[in-house]
Amino acid sequence: MPDPFALFDLWFAEARAAEVNDPEAMALATADASGQPSVRMVLLKGHGPDGFTFYTNEQSAKGEQLAANPHAALLFHWKALRRQVRIEGKVERVPDVEADAYFASRARDSQLGAWASDQSRPLDQRETFERRFDEVAERFAGGDVPRPPHWRGYRVIPDRIEFWTDRPHRLHERRLFTLNDGGGWSEGLLYP
């Protein structure tokens, strides 16, 4: 039986060894309720047969888009390996206990930044953000920084995963895994 997650694990391990910067960086494409698309880079924070996990402010543009349209696409591009992985599927929030555990593992300044930032909202000047960061640092001085209520995790649950390998003369290899109605995966090839 085809297993796209085992293949992803293999490719991801090779990317971690080969890529100089951020092998876990992935483009996240979302769309709002009207279908207007948007894409940005985020970091993969967990993966497995249950999906691909990232974290963000739910009040950010991507958080609002995911609330309106809970579907997304991901793209990993590992240039050193000349490979790409494309993932499409529905999106769900991770449980609070999982988000709490990941937030607690982050660097303290990253935790404070999550409290200080109104992600994706207009900022009048850099000093405003820096002042807010200092205020939050003072507020939580000497103690743990709890996860902000608006900061959470999302999991893309794939129904389609494509593995792309660069080949000479544009004779690339494209392996497509699609989730079938029985919950198993079917594998096929696509023309480049």
Pairing between strand 51-57 and 151-165? antiparallel
pTM passes above 0.85: yes
Domain parsing of the chain, residue ranges = 4-106+149-190
Instruction: Let me know: does 37 contact 27? Beta carbons within 8 Å.
Output: no
Q: Report the distance separating Cα 152 and Cα 101, nearest Å.
A: 11
Residue showing tokens 């991801």: 12
Mean pLDDT over 43-70 rounds to 96
Residues 7-52 have pLDDT tens digits of 999 999 999 999 989 999 999 999 999 999 999 999 999 999 999 9
Q: Domain 4-106+149-190's class?
A: mainly beta
**Active centre residues (catalytic):** 170
